[in-house]
A and B are shown apart, each in its own frame.
Chain A
Amino acid sequence: MNKGFYVTAAELAASGFENIPDELVSSKHMIYSSPATLDFNSPGAKGFGVKRAGLVVPESVMLLVAPGCCGRNTALLNELGYNDKFFYLMLDDTDIVTGRYLKKIPKACAEIVEELDYTPSAIMICVTCVDALLGTDMERVCRSCAETSGVPCVPAYMYALTREKRLPPMGLARKSIYSLLEPQKRRSNECALMGFFSALEDGCEIYELLRRAGIKKIHEIGRCKTFEEYRQISRANFALVLNSEARAAAQDMEKRLGIPFIELTRLYRLGKIHNQYKLLGQAIGAEFDDSEFYDEAFDTVTAFKAKHGEVSFAVGECMNADSFELALALCEYGFRVAEIYGTIGERNFLFLRKLAEVSPETRVYSNLSPTMMGYERDCEINACIGTDAAYYHKDLPSVSWSGEEQPFGYRAVTLLFEQLDTALTEGKAVKI
C-alpha cells in the first residue's frame, strides 16, 4: 500500500501557500535522507555542494575547518580528481569550547602553502554549523590567514543550519567564488553568465543569440581553466544571472565592480522562453531572432508526442529544472503528470497554481517526508524525469536530467525530449 503522503495540485492551490500541509514543509517534520535524493541533499556529496563549488575558482584549494564528521564524505570527490585540493583542520571539543582553533587556521594556511609545490590562487576556508552557532567572524579570520600565508583566503560557508534563509549556503558559495574578482576596465562586447558552477551545454542558443547581438566574449566560471581566465570575468559589461541563487553574488559584483545584471530563469515552456529572450533583447538593446531555435524545440516536442502519445510522467526535483515549471510545461504540451516529488517555495507556488488549472489531479509528494519510506506506485506512470523519480520507478523508462553541462532555453527543451524519446523507445534509463 502506498503510504507516501501526497496532496493533489488542486488541493494545494485551493489551500494557498500559507496552508501547505506540514508533511510538505521540511522544517515541520523529521527529514528522510531518501536514497532517491541523497546525492543532492548532502553538502559535499555528488553534484556541486559547497565544498566542490568553492573549488570552482581555478587553482584554488580548500581548507575545511570542522569536526571530522563534516568532512567525512568529501572523499567522494576524490573520484572526480579533487584529492589534492582538500585539507582538513580537525576540531575537537576543546577547540569548540575555547575557540582556540581560530588561531590555528592562519598557521594551517601557511602550512598548506608550504606543502604545495605551486602557489594556489586562493585558499577557500570552509566552515560549518559550529561556526554558524559560534558566530565566527570569518572575514576577519580570512584576512589574518591571507597575511600569514601570502595567498588570498575566502570563506565558504557550509551552514546547513541556514538552508532556508534568504541567503542559503549555495547562495553564499556563489558570492564567495566571485569575491576574488577585482575591478578593471569593462569591455562593451563581453558579458558574463552566472548561476551555475559548470558551463551551459555547448549547443545552447544563448551563445549564438548573444554573438549576433555583438557580444564577442562570454565569460563563465565553469569554463575557466586558469586563474587568469577567471580574473577576466570582471571585464564583462553586464552579467546574465541564470539561477536566482546567484543573485546575491551578482548584486555584490554590481556594487564592487560596477557590472549590472539581468536575471533570466530556466524555463521549459516555449512561449515563456521566447518572451524572456524578447525582454533580454530589449534590455541590452538588441533584437533577437530566436525563431529557428523555437521551431527546432517545437518540432522535437511535436514529433515526440506523435510517436509516444499522451505519456504520463513522474517528475522529480533532483534534476536541472524546477519540478513544477517543468510539470506545467509537460501538461501544456498535452502530456500528463501523475506525480511530482518536489519542494514548494513561494516562487514555484505560482507554477503550482497554474498546474492545478490544467492538471488538478497531479499528486505532489515531498522526498524528505518520513512517509516516503512507504511509497509505492499506485497510479499509471509511463516515464520519469529526474534522478529521484527514476529511483522510485526503477522499472520505467527514465531520464535523470541531472548532468553537469547545464541545459538552458530552447536547447534544454530539445535535449530533454530527445532523451525522453531514447528512453521510451529503448525502454530504459538515460543517465544524463
Chain B
Amino acid sequence: MSTLLKHISPLAPDDSGACSVLYEMGGIVVICDAGGCAGNVCGFDEPRWHCKRSALFSAGLRDMDAILGRDDRLVEKLVKVTGQVEADFTAIIGTPVPAVIATDYHALERMSERRSGLPCIALPTDGTRLYDYGEELAYTELFRRFAEEGIEPKKGKLGIIGATPLNTGLMFAEKLIAAGKAMGFDEVVCFGLDSGLDEVKRAAECERLLVISPSGVKAAEYLNKRFGTPFEAGYPCLPEAVCESADGLSGKKVLVINQQFAANTLREKLKGCEVDCATWFALDKRYAHENDFRIKDEGTLRERIEQGGYDVIFADRDLWRAMKYFGGELIDFPHYAVSATLA
C-alpha cells in the first residue's frame, strides 16, 4: 500500500515548513491546532526553539471551537496576545483541524487585521503535505505582502532564499554568509535566518538571489518579475563529512537522496561518477537530470534502487531502514526534514 510507511517516520509537514520561514520574522505566528501540531513544530522540527525566542503559539482549539466554527474566539485570542507580545504582523498557520472544517483563511486574515491593526497572513497548510510546500507558501506570501517598492539594488548584495533548518540543518547563517562572500558578494542576507522582516521589506536591494531549495524558487521568480532581480539555484553548505565521502568514488554509480538542490550540488562534487538524484520532496524538472526521480513511497524507492544498479547511496541515516535490501555502500547525508539531524 503506497500510503503505508513501514520503515520510516513521517517527514516534515507543510505547517512546519511555513513556521520555519516565519520563525525569525518578528511576527506572532499562530498554529491553528489543538496543541499537538505546535508540539511537533516546537519540539521537533524547529531546532531554534531552544536558542532563539519566537512568538510562536498554538491556538489551543478544542472540539467545540471546531464544530461550531468559532473563528471569532480565535481572533479574540490573537488580539489579546498582540497586547502582550510586540510584533510587526500576525500569521495563522493551517493544520488538519481547520482543513477538516474548511476554515475560510481570507476571512480570518481580514478579521484579524481589522481587530488587531496588524497585517495578517494566513497560510492554508493542512499537515498532509510536505514542508517544502509550506515554505513555498510562506516565502511567496512574505515577499508579496512586505517587500517594498522604490528601493534601488545595492551592488554586491546577495539574498539567499531557502535558508531554513529544515533545508540545511543550520540554525545560524554564518556558514551561508561566508559562502556568499566567497562567491564575491560584499553583503549576504539569508531571509529568515539571522534576519527578520526588515530584510524582506528591502528585498529589492539584492543584486542577486541564490535559491538553495526548490521551496524558494517561486518566491525568487516573484521577486524577479517584480524587481527584475536575477536568481540562480545552488547549495553552498554541503556538510564537510559528506564532501569528504564524495572523494574517491570515481567510476561508481551513485544515488543521492536529499532536497533537490542539495542533491544536485553533491552530484557536481562526485567527479567521474554516474549520479542520479532523488527526493521525497519537490522535484523541479528545470533543475533535474534525465534519470532523477521523486520518491513517492517506500515501494517506489525500492523499485528504483533495485533497477538502478547503484554502488553507493547518499541518504539521511533515518532512511536506511527502508533500504535494508540494498547491498552497496550507504553514506549518511543528513536532511533535517527527514531525521531532524543538525548539520
Contacts and interface: CB of A to CB of B under 8 A. Distances in A.
Contact of B9 (A38, A86, A115): A86
B35 interface: yes
B339 interface: yes
A73 B39 contact: yes
Interface string B215-237: 00000000000000000000000
A109 B46 CA distance: 32
B266 interface: no
Given A68-B127, A130-B100, A83 B321 contact: yes
Chain B CB within 10 Å, residue with most, of A33, A68, A129:
A68
A372 B56 CA distance: 12
Contact of A41 (B15, B39, B81, B340): B39
Interface stretch (B91-99, B107-115, B253-261): B91-99
A30 B49 contact: no
Contacts of B286: none
Interface residues of B, number: 62
B1 A104 contact: yes
B318 interface: yes
A70 interface: yes
B10 A33 contact: no
B77 A161 contact: no
B143 to A, nearest CB: 25
Given A86-B9, A370-B85, A69 B35 contact: no
A128 B97 CA distance: 10
A42 B10 contact: no
B103 to A, nearest CB: 12
A214 interface: no
Contacts of B309: none
Nearest to A369: B84
Interface stretch (A88-96, A247-255, A291-299, A401-409): A88-96
Contact of B3 (A39, A89, A129): A89
Interface in B39-96: 39-45, 49-50, 53, 55-63, 66-67, 77-78, 80-81, 84-85, 95-96
A140 interface: no
Contacts of B35: 31, 33, 41-42, 160, 163
Contacts of A35: 42, 49-50
A67 B97 contact: no
A83 to B, nearest CB: 7
B165 interface: no
Chain A CB within 10 Å, residue with most, of B15, B43, B49, B101:
B43
B170 interface: no
A69 B55 contact: no
Contacts of B78: 30
A111 B67 CA distance: 34
A39 B44 CA distance: 10
Contact of A73 (B1, B44, B127, B130): B44
Interface stretch (A74-82, A141-149, A218-226, A342-350): A74-82
Contact of A31 (B10, B57, B80, B84): B57
Contact of A90 (B3, B66, B85): B3
A277 interface: no
Contacts of A86: 9
Given A108-B4, A163-B35, A91 B61 contact: no
A58 interface: no
A159 to B, nearest CB: 8
Interface of B: 1, 3-6, 9-16, 30, 33-45, 49-50, 53, 55-63, 66-67, 77-78, 80-81, 84-85, 95-97, 99-101, 126-130, 318, 321, 339-340
10 contacts: A30-B57, A30-B77, A32-B57, A33-B38, A38-B49, A68-B129, A72-B12, A93-B126, A129-B66, A371-B84
Q: What 7 A-B pairs come out closest when comparing CB atoms?
A: A42-B39, A69-B127, A160-B34, A69-B13, A30-B57, A68-B10, A73-B44
Interface of A: 3, 26-33, 35, 38-39, 41-45, 66-76, 78, 83, 86-93, 95-96, 101, 104, 107-108, 111-112, 115, 128-130, 132-134, 158-165, 368, 370-371, 373
Given A31-B60, A161-B97, 15 more contacts: A31-B35, A33-B42, A33-B57, A43-B36, A45-B39, A68-B130, A69-B15, A72-B12, A72-B13, A72-B45, A73-B43, A74-B10, A75-B44, A87-B5, A93-B128
